[in-house]
């Protein structure tokens, strides 16, 4: 099978978690002799080729990060142009790989609903959405941890190569839990101090120079500074 992958991430390929996830997915997908071609929307020079592939290729997969509980704006902009070029009759399949920072799959359900509407508008059959959370730290937690975090995507690639779509229990058990259990939530409270330290380290690596609990717009009295009202 030949698969066209279009990354809907905003961040440049070299910094994007989606790019790393696509890399792992390809590894699994190509293991049996299948081939892929990837286009990155973060590079606008690739938009014409991505649009042409969306019109002509049989199997297309959008891989995207969850942004404010839905799709990144750059992908919406790309899709606006693509919908006008859609063939009148359904041809080929469109599937989605959706990854986010929070651990629960429930975070992504609103976005999934929107994604489900797209294949019809683009003259394609829906091939399902694979959802995986807890990916925020992928580029920040070191190579060993990243390797473990990418494993489910390589496996999803292998299974997608066989099924041609993301549907059924085979993919559900690779995905993140719908909700964390009460026990997991209770346990996470014990780790809060460690989580705070970790977030501080991550924030520094991302260029943050102040404390994470800084309140620059609030006076000592607790009121919003008059200059900011
Ligand atoms: C502006 C912005 C909004 C985000 N919104 C969400 C969100 O609503 N839910 C979530 O689980 N993760 C959210 N995230 C986290 C990203 O989905 C996550 O870190 C992802 O791995 C980033 O992939 P990328 O590096 O390819 O952009 C957000 C990240 C950014 C920068």
Closest residue by Cα to atom 19, ligand 1, is 136
Per the CB < 8 A criterion, the answer to whether 78 and 22 are in contact is: no
Rounded Cα gap, residues 135 and 145, in angstroms: 11
Q: Is the CB of 176 under 6 A from ligand 1?
A: no
Nearest CA to 24 out of 148, 177, 134 is that of 148
- Write down the pTM of the prediction: 0.90
Q: What is the structure's pLDDT at 160? A: 97
DSSP 72-87: -HHHHHHHHHHHHT--
Lookup result for tokens 């390797």: 147
Closest residue by Cα to atom 2, ligand 1, is 67
Q: What is the structure's pLDDT at 12? A: 96
* Distance of CA 200 from the midpoint of ligand 1 (Å): 18
Atom of ligand 1 nearest to the CA of 70: 8
* Distance of CA 64 from the midpoint of ligand 1 (Å): 9
* Distance of CA 8 from the midpoint of ligand 1 (Å): 12
Sheet holding 59-65, edge to edge: 35-40, 2-7, 59-65, 93-99, 125-132
Q: Is the CB of 59 under 6 A from ligand 1?
A: no
Q: List all residues 6 or more positions away from 224 whose beta carbon is below 8 Å from its beta carbon.
A: 217, 218
Domain boundaries, the chain: 2-178, 181-229
Atom of ligand 1 nearest to the CA of 135: 21
Output the tens digit of pLDDT for each of the chain's 229 residues: 999 999 999 999 999 999 999 999 999 999 989 999 999 999 999 999 999 999 899 999 999 999 999 999 999 999 998 877 766 565 899 999 999 999 999 999 999 999 999 999 998 999 999 999 999 989 888 899 999 999 999 999 999 999 999 988 889 999 999 999 999 988 888 888 888 888 898 888 889 999 888 888 888 777 887 776 6
Q: What is the structure's pLDDT at 222? A: 78
Q: What is the structure's pLDDT at 40? A: 98
Q: What is the structure's pLDDT at 46? A: 98
Q: What is the structure's pLDDT at 195? A: 84
Question: E strands, the chain, where?
Answer: 2-7, 35-40, 59-65, 93-99, 125-132
Helices 192-205 and 182-190: crossing angle in degrees, nearest 10, is: 70
Lookup result for tokens 């942004």: 67
Q: What is the structure's pLDDT at 155? A: 97
Count Cα atoms within 13 angstroms, Cβ side, for 152.
18
Rounded Cα gap, residues 164 and 177, in angstroms: 23
Closest residue by Cα to atom 28, ligand 1, is 67
Instruction: Report the length, in residues, of the chain.
Output: 229
Residue 61 forms beta bridges with which residues?
5, 95
CATH superfamily ID and name for 2-178? Flavodoxin domain (3.40.50.360)
Rounded Cα gap, residues 64 and 21, in angstroms: 10
Q: What is the structure's pLDDT at 88? A: 59
Rounded Cα gap, residues 188 and 7, in angstroms: 32
Nearest CA to 70 out of 46, 96, 51 is that of 96
* Distance of CA 148 from the midpoint of ligand 1 (Å): 19
């Amino acid at each position: 099978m030949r698969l066209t992958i279009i990354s809907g991430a905003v961040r440049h390929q070299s910094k994007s978690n989606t790019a790393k996830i696509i890399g792992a997915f390809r590894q699994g997908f190509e293991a049996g002799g299948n081939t892929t071609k990837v286009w990155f929307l973060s590079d606008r020079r690739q938009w014409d080729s991505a649009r042409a592939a969306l019109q002509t290729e049989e199997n297309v997969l959008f891989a995207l990060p969850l942004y404010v509980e839905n799709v990144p704006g750059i992908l919406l902009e790309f899709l606006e142009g693509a919908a006008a070029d859609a063939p009148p009759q359904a041809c080929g399949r469109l599937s989605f790989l959706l990854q986010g920072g929070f651990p629960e799959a429930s975070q992504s359900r609103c976005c999934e609903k929107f994604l489900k509407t797209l294949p019809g508008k683009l003259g394609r059959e829906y091939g399902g959405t694979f959802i995986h959370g807890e990916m925020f730290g992928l580029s920040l937690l070191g190579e060993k941890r990243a390797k473990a975090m990418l494993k489910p995507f390589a496996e999803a690639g292998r299974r997608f190569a066989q099924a041609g779509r993301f549907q059924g229990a085979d993919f559900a058990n690779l995905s993140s839990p719908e909700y964390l259990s009460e026990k997991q939530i209770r346990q996470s409270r014990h780790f809060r101090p460690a989580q705070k330290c970790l977030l501080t380290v991550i924030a520094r690596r991302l260029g943050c120079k102040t404390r994470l609990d800084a309140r620059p717009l609030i006076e000592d009295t607790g009121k919003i500074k008059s200059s900011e009202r």
